[in-house]
Amino acid sequence: MKNGMLKEIDWKYLGALLANEGDDDQADFLKSFVKECKSWGTFHQAEMQLAGVNAKLTDDEKELLAMIGYQGE
């Protein structure tokens, strides 16, 4: 059992489900993810975790995800 869960999580399936939800649910998910990362003690720990994720993404995936951080005029 991990984090109180009795079964392993199928992350690919969960990602596919999330991709087909509305932007409110997707934003709630990402806000919760960020909040949890920021609870780890230092900002550096979260940066290092995300750097590890970044290293596993393709350039195409990074390009699309860049929209999450886009700040327009």
Domain of 63, in residue numbers:
41-73
Total structural domains within the chain: 1
Do the domain assignments include residue 49?
A: yes
Instruction: Give me the pLDDT at residue 48, please.
Output: 97
DSSP class per residue in the chain: -BTTBSS---HHHHHHHHHTS-HHHHHHHHHHHHHHHHTTS-HHHHHHHHHHHHHTS-HHHHHHHGGGG----
Residues in contact with 57: Cβ distance below 8 Å, sequence separation at least 6, in sequence order? 65
Instruction: Give me the pLDDT at residue 73, please.
Output: 77
Question: Model's pTM, two decimal places?
Answer: 0.82
pLDDT, one tens digit per residue, over 16-69 is: 999 999 999 999 999 999 999 999 989 999 999 999 999 999 999 999 999 999
Do the domain assignments include residue 9?
A: no
Do the domain assignments include residue 18?
A: no
Q: How confident is the model at residue 5 (pLDDT cuts 50, 70, 90)?
A: low
